[in-house]
Structure 1
Amino acid sequence: MSRSVLVTGGNRGIGLAIARAFADGGDKVAITYRSGEPPEELTALGVLGVKCDITDPEQVESAYKEVEASHGPVQVLVANAGITRDQLLLRMSEEDFEAVLQTNLTGTFRTVKRACRGMLRARSGRIVLISSVVGLSGAAGQANYAASKAGLVGFARSLARELGSRNITVNVITPGFVDTAMTQVVGEERKAEILRQVPLGRYAQPEEVADAVRFLASDQATYITGAVVPVDGGLGMGH
């Protein structure tokens, strides 16, 4: 049966691969995006693009109403939208720290809370949060990003306990280094340094993250909740 799926930040990178995977599987998919326009390939797949800044509660409410009018209540939410503002701690401004938490953590809280309205009524739902290996292992210059991504783990596990009795699962994916436009600008020397830390010796493809998300949203994962699933080539072992 075709489900109503919402992917935040679904217009590029990991989010785009996730949206494409669900659409290819026959689901009714909507994405949020903050700037630009959704790629033509998503439009061709019938994916609904909704402009939404998840740091704005009114935009989130408006986005959900648009999705619900077109596809019905959201049954699968993938909270992927996020930003980085990297800087060493002593040079990091309060604005940069707060902006990352407002998008990555508070924005996720906002989108998840709104999705839960319909899921609780239906007594069913799948929520997948996109965190990062950095949220577990840390990274110099990313104290704000790591804090926001670590916060998603505690958030998800609390909700898994809170919502489990209503047949709503809440899980986390922690990608490592993924081959996206963001990582393609990394210099060759730095790239080699990063890859030396990855047992599989390569970046992940966005589609590999999407496959893990689809599994957690599938009927094969009905008894999995509160899990943190790494898709990192072994980078985060032990965390």
Structure 2
Amino acid sequence: MTTSGKWLILSGVSRGLGLALARDLLAQGYGVAACSTTHNDDLAALEADHPARFLWRSVDMAAAAAIEAFVAEACQQPPGERLWGVINNAGMSVEGILSTLPVRDIEHVLQVNLTGAICLTRAVLRQMMKTRKSGRVINISSITGLRGYTGLTAYAASKAGLDGFSRALAREVGRIGITVNAIAPGYMKTQLSEGLDDAQLAQIVRRTPLNRLCELADVVHLARFLLSEDAAFITGQTLVVDGGLTS
């Protein structure tokens, strides 16, 4: 596969899945304009190893103006007319029974996970529609949005909203060759699953037909495929990667 100097916007890049996606995209030859709220040694290493193909900025995904400014700056840099799409990976979660969950926490989860992704996609599409007749939008969802999980109501609502957003946007931009899909991973050992103890994770493994947790590589490989020309006729889908847990 050749990426022909294509660039992607990627959110939530500082650790876990976002960092794994950034590393794989760079290895595939893409340029990556990435954002997260914090910088760390892993990001510094990517900047040092790929100075011409990796751009990082600190962006609060709950701040629409900051998102717009990030995309505007990124598109003044190397991406320009080679902008191929966006991967909305930034996400957060707060645990708690809904009846006692503070409204500010509910609003923040929805703002980061759903509104932030919509705003980032909106800003990227404005640029892509000027210069391209094809491209990709990938939204990182969750099986929680499909099946739910006790104590994660706001998170589940945000991910279910992201799935609906993907389906609707696929209809809007399909006519210009841009595909829009969501990936719904199963439970992974990442920061977002830190609230699950070993016993809970073991129970999930026992209930999973393939008898293990989802791994970062499982999602990275699917994202790689969706970005490729081989996936040019796949759009409006939520693709579940959970080893059969929700089947």
Residue in 1 aligned with 2:89?
80
**1:36 equivalent among 12, 34, 39:** 39
Alpha-carbon distance in 1 for matches of 2:185, 2:111: 21
- 40-49 or 167-176, larger mean C-alpha shift: 40-49
**1:140 equivalent among 145, 150, 158:** 150
How far the C-alpha of 1:67 sits from its partner, in A, is 1.4
Where in structure 2 are the equivalents of 1:183-202 lying within 5 Å?
A: 183=193, 186-202=196-212
**2:116 equivalent among 107, 110, 113:** 107
Residue in 1 aligned with 2:240?
230
Percentage of pairs with the same residue: 36
User: Helix, strand or coil for the counterpart of 1:29?
Assistant: strand
- 180-189 or 196-205, larger mean C-alpha shift: 180-189
- Give the conservation status (yes or no) of the 8 Å contact 1:23–1:45: no
Q: How many residues align?
A: 237
Residue in 1 aligned with 2:230?
220
Alpha-carbon distance in 2 for matches of 1:89, 1:165: 40
- Give the conservation status (yes or no) of the 8 Å contact 2:145–2:157: yes
Flag the 1:229–1:95 CA change in 2: closer, same or farther, 3 A. same
Aligned CA-pair RMSD: 1.5
Where in structure 2 are the equivalents of 1:124-139 lying within 5 Å?
A: 124-139=134-149
User: Helix, strand or coil for the counterpart of 2:211?
Assistant: coil
Alpha-carbon distance in 2 for matches of 1:54, 1:123: 27
Alpha-carbon distance in 2 for matches of 1:185, 1:87: 11
**1:38-68 deviations in whole A, cap 9, x for unaligned?**
6134224422111111211221122112211
The TM-score with structure 2 as length reference comes to: 0.91
Alpha-carbon distance in 1 for matches of 2:87, 2:134: 15
Q: Any stretches of 5+ residues in structure 2 without a counterpart?
A: none
How far the C-alpha of 1:37 sits from its partner, in A, is 3.0
Q: Any stretches of 5+ residues in structure 1 without a counterpart?
A: none
Flag the 1:226–1:38 CA change in 2: closer, same or farther, 3 A. farther
**1:26 equivalent among 24, 29, 34:** 29
